[in-house]
Amino acid sequence: MRAIITATELAHELRPGATPPVLLDVRWQLSVAKAAGAPAFDGRAEYAAGHLPGAVFVDLDRELAAAAGAHGRHPLPDLAEFGAAMRRAGVSADRPVVVYDGGQGWAAARAWWMLRATGHPDVRVLDGGLPSWQGDLSTETPAPAGGDFVPAPVAGLLDADGAAALARTGVLLDARAGERYRGEVEPIDRVGGHIPGAVSAPTTENVGPDGRFLPAAELRDRFKALGVSGDTQVGVYCGSGVSAAHEVLALAVAGVPAELYVGSWSEWSSDPSRPVAVGADPQ
């Protein structure tokens, strides 16, 4: 099953007379500046100003994650609450789902990963997000019929110990910016650096200038250069399990299965007993 869909393909699936996929608008943005008093990004307001016709807004912080705590800034949501939110949005097990965000792709990827990891068989991300859409937008809030999706226990999940082990036995990719991986800056978490053995692989390098994913062959070459080949077990982490989901999506486009460490650096670095590596060397 393909993991992404182009705006042209989506327009075809939304043509009159067709059975459209469920559309989820997951606009979200990490605002480090809000700590300095700047207004936080409001995805719901962006949605209200214009969204794909029929799309339902999904709040990443409240519906795709639990409250921040010991397990990181975006830990897994309660599965019952997640399932209820998806059913309210009209998600059913036998109907395709397309998710999109404002173009960065991180939030949409988190929704894609949550649904796929809990058993939905057909979820795709709009490649390039809302900026790639050339059709009309709507300001009407739909009232979808309730869905029937019941999430299964999450599959493809790493915890802190699993991530540490994978860094030794497979390939653990760090999806954050290189300067955070090296420990040169850390704008959010307690300390900078990376999990010992992890390889720097900024997720921003998986897309072109237009925000769309690189071709699958180019992504395969990129990941191969990072040590991913054959039957390599692959895991990904980031700051809080959001941009890492985007890298898991890029790996899926390349045909490579990968596990997500949801707690990511926000969980790892909160425990002073866990080792921290700095610099460009994985170790």
Using one digit for the tens of pLDDT, what is the confidence trace for 38-67?
567 789 999 999 999 999 999 999 999 999
238 is catalytic: yes
Q: What is the pTM of this model?
A: 0.95
- Write the pLDDT tens digit of every residue in 261-277: 999 999 999 999 999 99
Q: Which of 24, 238, 258, 262 is catalytic?
A: 238
pLDDT exceeds 80 at position 91: yes
Average pLDDT of the chain, as a whole number: 95
Interhelix angle 106-117/243-253, rounded to 10 degrees, is 70
Token pair 């954050």 is at which residue? Answer: 176
pLDDT at 149: 98
Q: Report residue 145's pLDDT band, with 50, 70 and 90 as the boundaries.
A: very high
| Domains, the chain, with CATH or none | 4-132 (3.40.250.10), 157-268 (3.40.250.10)
pLDDT at 282: 95
- Give mean pLDDT, residues 210-225: 97
Q: Report residue 29's pLDDT band, with 50, 70 and 90 as the boundaries.
A: confident
Torsion sign over Cα 202, 205, 209, 214: negative
Q: Report residue 230's pLDDT band, with 50, 70 and 90 as the boundaries.
A: confident
Q: Report residue 200's pLDDT band, with 50, 70 and 90 as the boundaries.
A: very high
- Per-residue burial over 108-138, b if 16 or more Cβ lie within 10 Å, else e, is bbbbbbbbbbbebebbbbbbbbbebbeeeee
pLDDT at 31: 61
Measured at the alpha carbon of residue 155, what is the angle toward residues 27 and 190, in degrees to the nearest 5?
60
pLDDT at 42: 87
pLDDT at 186: 94
Q: Report residue 34's pLDDT band, with 50, 70 and 90 as the boundaries.
A: very low
Q: How far apart are CA 122 and CA 89, in angstroms?
A: 16
Check: CB of residue 269 under 8 Å from CB of residue 191. yes
pLDDT exceeds 80 at position 37: no
CA distances (Å), origin 106, targets 102, 183, 240: 9, 22, 11
